[in-house]
Structure 1
Amino acid sequence: MDRRGFFGLTGLAALAAAPAGAASVRAKSLHSAPRLFVRDWGEGRPVLFVHGWALASEMWSYVMQPLSDQGFRCIAYDRRGHGRSGDAGNGYDYDTLAGDLAGVMAERDLRDVVLVGHSMAAGELVRILRHREARRIAKLVFVAPAATPFLLKTADNPRGVDAAFFAQARAQMAADFPAWIDANEAPFVLPETSPGMRRWIKAMMEAASLKALIECNKAMTTTDFRAELRAIDRPALVIHGTRDASAPLEMTGRPTAALIPGAELKVYEGAPHGLFATHAPQLAADIAAFARG
């Protein structure tokens, strides 16, 4: 299904420039509200994808394409400051980002939604459940969660990471983000991942707003989701790889699944953080099975 068109106050010139199956939604928040680029493929039960830190909705292409051919309506949007969405320069806290997600669901009138989030988006999947639009969500899929349960080392979270480590990483990003990507590229994928796929991922990351990258990293590394995870009352699936260097299984994926009542943990042997590219067929199959179950 081709759902060309823009919600809200968008000019005809922008409409003419939009690719088929894509649109824009006005983000709803107390901060400046940028327009959000949205992809909308297929028909059937809605599966709404939220991309990882520094990436864009495009990262889900190799998962959305087969699912849209299997009777699912696959929707994904670019987070504010990422991809083709607007860059308001603010609103990178999880409350505002969850409000943006709620706006996409409301504008598209999505119901009985299977919500899928990668990496940083684990926080949006948790925080959206506080929002009135949470009634639209039926199931949750956490893919290589990186924001949950709580990354920062504190008195009651001694296994967390020192704040100084995160601050140093942000300083490196602020000085030369392409160099930071190059230094961290190898473990994000697999040795056999093609050069073209690596370039594609790097191009997505380089297109993100530096302001968004820094502020989203702050939110991701300082927000405590432990209590919210315990309160989740929907079926949840956590998928994580054993070779995830960005968010190790034992630090994020396994404890996330342990805190969510009744959650299922599915471990991919040998999968890295970029499993949306390296393990796309398996990921699509598991999301489809969970959505139909």
Structure 2
Amino acid sequence: MPTFTTTDGTELYYTDQGEGRPVLLSHGWPLSSDAWQVEVKLLADNGYRAIAHDRRGHGRSSKTYYGNDMDTYAKDLAELVEHLDLKDLVVIGHSTGGGEVVRYTAQHGAGRVAKVITVGAVPPQMVASATNPGGLPLEVFDGIRAGVLKDASQFYKDLTEAFFGANRPGATVSQGARDDFWRQGMLVNLAAAYDCIKAFSETDFTEDLKALTVPILIAHGDDDQIVPIDGAALRAIDLVKHGTLKVYPGAPHGIDGAFRLELGQDILAFISE
């Protein structure tokens, strides 16, 4: 399986499928590149080179104790892009991955990244603070940390309910999709999973969003129970220079079903513009 070793000795797994303009996909917490399998095939089938990596500590990458923070995630991504020498690149990030690709593009992507797409992404900042009074209380994330430490396996099973909107009337998410979320979650190193909670909730991406000079598609479901749209996409769109906001009525945080189908077509359309 293809792997790349970063300058600090961390081995990153990635999948690389198709030929053409490169598109790199970054997954959410606590998942892996497997979360993007449908999109990887869609992109490859439509003439693109689709690359998706497992973030350090996640999936088949090294089970790291150190470096589980957004600056290091972005640096890892920069090293992978340089290793593969990707240019005219489109980066796509879901949830935590949205923060990763925004920081990477702002701080490392000049001359390589042409477009950015985020889906249910955490920027500008999730946790409430003096500069982000509308964010979620720190106690929410303390609860996630406690759940992961107490019984990660059960926590991931329970999390799929809100993640996929399975608690909503008429929900169509399958048990298989929920089981696959659990499967991917169980591959993450506990220390990496724990530290990543701080990374995705407390990192302030405000200046990164302001620094973007390339077009960005900000996609978000308006029934996202994990990363509420009011504190995320609806704020982020006001911070970027060349942004397009796409709101999916009734869509949850998890990419599944009708949301996945529509999003896939929107991704193809945005890349081809």
Q: Same fold (TM over 0.5)?
A: yes
Task: Tell me which residue corresponds to 1:24.
Answer: 3
Aligned to 2:57: 81
Alpha-carbon distance, 1:47 to partner: 0.6
1:12 maps to none
Alignment-derived partner of residue 53 in structure 1: 29
Identify the residue that residue 169 of structure 1 maps to in structure 2: 144
Distance 1:130 1:136, change over 3 A: same
Q: How does 1:63-102 map to 2 (within 5 A)?
A: 63-102=39-78
SS at match of 1:247: coil
Offset at residue 129 of structure 1 (A):
2.9
| Correspondence for 1:139 | 115
Identity among equivalent pairs (%): 36
Whole-angstrom distance in 1 between the partners of 2:13 and 2:206: 31
Work out which of the two has the higher radius of gyration on C-alpha atoms and give 1 or 2: 1
Unaligned residue ranges in structure 1 (runs of 5+)? 1-17
Task: In structure 2, list runs of 5 or more residues that go unmatched.
Answer: none
Residue 276 of structure 1: how far off its partner (Å): 5.0
TM-score, structure 2 as length reference = 0.93
Aligned counterpart, 2:103: 127
CA separation of 1:78/1:111 partners in 2, compared to 1, >3 Å: closer, same or farther? same
Residue number in structure 2 paired with 1:113: 89
Match of 2:259 in 1: 279
3-state SS in 2 of match to 1:37: strand
Q: Which amino acid aligns with 1:222?
A: E
1:197 lines up with 2:172 in the alignment:
no
| Equivalent in the alignment of 1:240 | 220
Cα offset, 1:164, TM superposition: 2.8
Matched, 1:263 2:239: no
Q: 1:78-112: CA deviations, max 9, x gaps? A: 00011111112111111111111011111111110
- Checking the alignment, whether the CA contact within 8 Å between 2:64 and 2:191 is kept in structure 1 is no
Q: Report Cα offsets for 1:17-75 as digits up to 9, x if no partner.
A: x3xxxx101123xxx43111110010011110001110000100011112101101100
What is the rounded CA distance, in whole Å, between the counterparts of 1:125 and 1:276 in structure 2? 21
User: TM-score, normalization: structure 1?
Assistant: 0.87
Q: How many residues align?
A: 268
